[in-house]
Structure 1
């Protein structure tokens, strides 16, 4: 029995169609989708925000420039979520490149921020051109699906192991959240297990005094714009690596996750809007705002609802929260970072269980072929290597396909529908 594929849906402008569209949106905002959207937002607004702040400190940015960076990536990332979810009725979720923020910690130690802002804009232009050309869509349609799924499993497995490590570091809080998750899944279908886990974990954290305001040196000030400078050094050191991360890591992960859940993602549109997001965020003073793999995984998982056609509601919720976080970054950052990292890591990992199961099943099915190539892709993605400034998900696809071709792994003929 084949999975149902959810096609792109056009939105008509007639009053009747608009009314039907609004009712569908309201129906998508149920307890499960809202809780999954909140979990995705908590994940994206916690640890990753601290990475951005660390990069800003490495570049000796002012508080205004740091706030502008956070405004750019969170507000524009949230807008991407809202646009894609409402346009395509799929949980295509926007945020920003978390690995991209990480590489900026080292880059800003030697490259002036004005050159970095110019590089952010150039990176968006590169991604936009690739999206308009349709190249990325053609590549994704050619890639063997088992190898793509193995890459997804390897890239996201860190969330699963992160949940285990969270229980080790804070057994009372994270352990209670895990127990609540599985107990809720066993006892009731009315309440999303991930919501139960978050509530129980937060309650215990609050009761034990583990919720502590974060000591973040960022004031509630107006965003400070930075005039971009376009240089060859910025292009080679920042723009091209960022573009590779957006396409080879974030977009590839998001596309694979959506396919694993039975959707037909609009690959070229995802790339195009990631390019536009990168350009707009760059103008404001932040690196690429784009489609995000981890947030898409959470919002498209079974934790977002049993009806897959309604899971885009989780992305809508995530988008609203991201936009709000970006607008009020100066006040919101200390509050979000007050939550125990172990609790956020445990809840995010638990939300990934369904996605990981689906990815492993499709990656290593004998009927699908490419088993050895898939194993290579899994191991490379899990390794976290970075070659030529490009992260492991991209190389997982490259090495997995090369090994599969070298061994002449055959793809079983597809049966006609």
Structure 2
């Protein structure tokens, strides 16, 4: 189905008037439930990943609140803009692999340098979108190599879910069992939500809540002035921009094509760049188009009529934005949980992302298998040269090995229309 008129710059859509006027009719039980499920997914396990990254970097609670405000508040705004203007289930959130990348980088870089890198990453994505250079850039970074880098950067979260059981066996064990039972028997409920609820019950029963006499109160966001450095640009900004374009946007574009939509690729890239820059000003790593949430809101679960599924994205956007605004209350509650439970739930939340990354990285039909393997092991090694962390070197090494050793046709450039 053709929904947008493509141009060399920003695609045209039906407009906000059309989106608002049709919203009441489009919002039904199925669209509302899909939007709610997508919001629950995004506000549970992924939020714990961000909080874990903030803890690893030694951020204050105020800085953590600002980070969540940036990515959830602006992610929700992106959903509202794209859904209402294009009448498409193009859903915003943030890069979960990007949060993992930043978590590793914060061991090397001060947070103010990371914030500067967030701004530079957003500017890169914006320029690539507004100039139409995505295809030219991504032609040199085939999807298997990008996805292998993602898999290598995220694998430690999966391993962390296993090691957390040793630290807190009853709580983490119960949450893990609940996750897989829910995956098998409760298909309508996100397994990560079931794991979190069961984990909370287990913590309450075992008296494992942290904080002692500390009162739960609102924490105001604490903004961080950016500092721009070449090292942070290479180690954080470049890989983060690649993740936004090569993982989140590419996944969302593919999902929309699979569901019969014609996605506004340039607009999706531009708004992801704007979201990245605005999020950086607040202290967050990137607000952009989200692959998993777009998949939920554009699927059959959101209703039989594809023309009405954009309402699921609208509701998801409202809920995301609300979570971001009230992050000051939510963060102290989440941080009262024991660390092993946070690590376990975060690792469980990464299962589907890791599966998708490995499958895309080592699809024989896509080629670049040797380069993808090199990218995987470099990213897993967590090496750092010249103060530049492993994800950047994974891309460089994977691409170099692929060019030198593989005589196969390149996989399609990210953002190109499949034929």
Cα deviation digits, residues 259-295 of structure 1 (max 9, x gap): 6757587654444224323433454x42543338xxx
Specify the alignment match of 2:173 in structure 1: 175
> Aligned residues, how many?
397
In 2: Cα distance, 1:210 partner to 1:224 partner: 29
Answer yes or no: is the 8 Å Cα contact 1:386–1:392 preserved in 2: yes
Specify the alignment match of 1:38 in structure 2: 40
In 2: Cα distance, 1:408 partner to 1:64 partner: 48
Give me the CA root mean square deviation: 4.7
Q: Return 5+ residue gaps in structure 1 as ranges.
A: none
In 2: Cα distance, 1:14 partner to 1:234 partner: 37
Answer yes or no: is the 8 Å Cα contact 1:85–1:92 preserved in 2: no
Specify the alignment match of 2:93 in structure 1: 93
The alpha-carbon deviation at position 334 of structure 1 amounts to 0.8
Answer yes or no: is the 8 Å Cα contact 1:128–1:272 preserved in 2: yes
Cα deviation digits, residues 141-194 of structure 1 (max 9, x gap): 564333333334333333332322333333222222222232233335444434
Is 1:201 the counterpart of 2:199? The answer is yes
Please say which of residues 363-372 and 313-322 is displaced more in the overlay.
313-322
Specify the alignment match of 1:323 in structure 2: 321
Is 1:236 the counterpart of 2:234? The answer is no
Answer yes or no: is the 8 Å Cα contact 2:71–2:285 preserved in 1: yes
In 1: Cα distance, 2:383 partner to 2:62 partner: 34
What secondary structure is seen at the aligned counterpart in 2 of 1:212? coil
Answer yes or no: is the 8 Å Cα contact 1:301–1:355 preserved in 2: no
What secondary structure is seen at the aligned counterpart in 1 of 2:44? helix
Cα deviation digits, residues 363-394 of structure 1 (max 9, x gap): 33333332222222222233334445554444
Cα deviation digits, residues 23-44 of structure 1 (max 9, x gap): 4454564556534432322334
In 1: Cα distance, 2:269 partner to 2:174 partner: 40
Specify the alignment match of 1:254 in structure 2: 248
Distance 1:164 1:299, change over 3 A: farther
TM superposition score normalised by structure 1: 0.71
Cα deviation digits, residues 76-115 of structure 1 (max 9, x gap): 3443354456554134422685344765676548xxx6x9
Specify the alignment match of 2:348 in structure 1: 350
Answer yes or no: is the 8 Å Cα contact 2:52–2:343 preserved in 1: no
Specify the alignment match of 2:271 in structure 1: 273
Answer yes or no: is the 8 Å Cα contact 2:218–2:329 preserved in 1: yes
In 2: Cα distance, 1:119 partner to 1:14 partner: 33
In 2: Cα distance, 1:409 partner to 1:261 partner: 29
Distance 1:402 1:236, change over 3 A: closer
Distance 1:331 1:277, change over 3 A: same
In 2: Cα distance, 1:55 partner to 1:72 partner: 17
Distance 1:304 1:184, change over 3 A: farther
The alpha-carbon deviation at position 338 of structure 1 amounts to 1.7
What secondary structure is seen at the aligned counterpart in 2 of 1:409? coil
Specify the alignment match of 1:163 in structure 2: 161
In 2: Cα distance, 1:274 partner to 1:214 partner: 41
The alpha-carbon deviation at position 247 of structure 1 amounts to 0.6
